[in-house]
Structure 1
Amino acid sequence: MRPKYPRHSVEKALRISRAILEQNAGKACTPKEAAAYLGMKAQGPFNVEVGSGIKYGFLERPESGKIKPTDLARQILRPKNAESALEGYRTAVLQAPDISEVYKHYRGENLPDDVFFKNTIADSFSIPEDSFEDFKQVFVESLQTAQLVNDHTGKLRVLDVSEESSSPEDKDERIKRMGAKVTVHSTDTCFVMQPFAAPLGGYYDKIYKPAIEKAGLQAVRADAEIFATGKIMDQVWRGINSAKVLVAELTSRNPNVFYELGLAHALKKPVVLISSNENDVPFDLHHIRVIYYEMSDPFWGNKLIDKVAENILSALRNPEEAIFRSGDISA
């Protein structure tokens, strides 16, 4: 199956729309005429470029044999204010096939090293390995143009604008689609490893329990559910051992959380890692997916609930993304 993503970055895919606007006042024209505006022939490379423009929503076919720039292309090329062009770029990226889905997968996270990135887009998005370099270039350039990625200590962090760009219904539907691809029983649990003291301790009821239930599992936390009787560590061990997936809040480098995380890794359990501070994530965990949240974002709580739910389901479907393997770390 051929990959669906546009073969040009979002900026390069505007070239035909720009030419039609500048040389034909934005009116519909034939592909041959549009190609001539660019000094090209209406053949292979030009047709691929037309396809990219259509996939981003920059070109439309108002009638058979004609193409013309869309309102979205005009919004970017003829912006009415400083924010208009950026909003247009983001709209284009977030509706482009494959690019939008990979963005949603990694939003709020650092892009992984190439070997893991290649495996994920091949396994989860059916993009062939021999298309990886091409896809990565288009993907990264497009996110940079749309200001959906920035540099964090040498890693590319994918920004989460889901609250501004997606309706609650769209987000719920995405989680339902992901849930349909995994088997979750009503008795399956997700064990939460987090500090108990405020403010982090309060995230259990506000963030993690709702997220886990949204993914269809039962939320379990040591202090609330299993510390009532018996030896504490025996019950922690049983809670971790019986969990189908786990969540670890790494913010503040809490030693109890790290100890429990070590137990989970020893059992080869998939763990969804979360932190508000990249410095709180140990170096040897950087190859595993980590959700980073920004508390300065007024929507951070809602975004985190949805993202944790999605990553739980993703970890169940592709546990290799969330299981610690010492062999993945370079000496």
Structure 2
Amino acid sequence: MELTKKRRTRRVVPYPLCSFEEVADFAAAAYDLGSGHSVRRVTLFDHLGKSPDSGPSRSLVTNAGKYGLIKGNYSAEQLVITDIAKKAFGEKSSEHVKAEAKIEIAILSIDPFKLLYEKFVGNKLPARTVLADTLKEHNVDENIVDSLVDNFVVNAEYVGVLQTLAGAERLVTIEHALEKFPKTHFESELRDSSFPSAAIGVSIAGIITSGNSSFDMTCFYITPIGDDDSDARKHSDLFLGSIIEPAIEPLGLKVVRADAIDTPGLITNQIIEYILRSRLVIADLSFHNPNVFYELALRHVSRLPTIQIVRKGDKIPFDIGNFRTIILDCSDIYTLVPKLETYKSEIASQARRVLDDPNVVENPVTSVYPNLGLRLQ
């Protein structure tokens, strides 16, 4: 009896299974060789010193096509450079246009990547398992989910929408990613309508940049900030990303820090508004920063929920020394890391307590004037 061997059918995957960076140089070489016009496939690979019919070369053409960089498959005579690729690699394109085009190609044009970006933009990068589960929930083939997740993360970092801010990796808005590439006057007047704008103006990982936050859902973080490379800034970034946000966000509040308020207007006025209107304030007394104590005093007058924290070793001033302050020991990594979960729990517990009953915690003002009230117009 003769058995017929069942032919294996090749599974067609509609998405690129490599990172954008892996095909970007190939597309740029194709553009340069043909000056933006179509090029012979064989000539291109000869120019690159590669065999046009090898497995890696075929994969290169296939994935470049799936990213929308070229038209034509691995057996085509000619490879045609697409309009979006011309924007990304053309010598006439400004750096702003190139960067925006690359975001479109690497993230927004690939459905699973666009899905992940739009779902999590404005937040810290979730764990890989969370990203994978999101794709599975949208019926993406489980066999390629892990590959898609890896390539999404690599692409997001490559095109600048995944950045390290305040001590954590965060998916930022397109507008934020493009800030370092100034527009020409013409681009400012006529922004290409082909680029989605839905993600622009969204908050960055709990650090509000759009200025549209609801104060009822806001925790304002009063903290010494300082220059980017200062100890105070590193301290603030560490506390924000590793302790404050993980403790507060599960309570449904977004954490806002003063340096991330970028709406037009006098920054001092905006800070005062956040101090007096936010549902919760956490004041970091570390480094004995005078601005922090001034802002804390304003908050005390508001009689609204407030939590005080300080790094171990910094003396708490006498006037507020009798009121509860959570002490965080960050003297060295060996002391801090084992206590991170404990510190987060302490802050979360205190936050729940003062949010449930704002009068439960006294401050120097309310202890003297228990009936003092502040009405904001």
Q: Which has the higher contact order (CA 8 A, sep 6+)?
A: 1
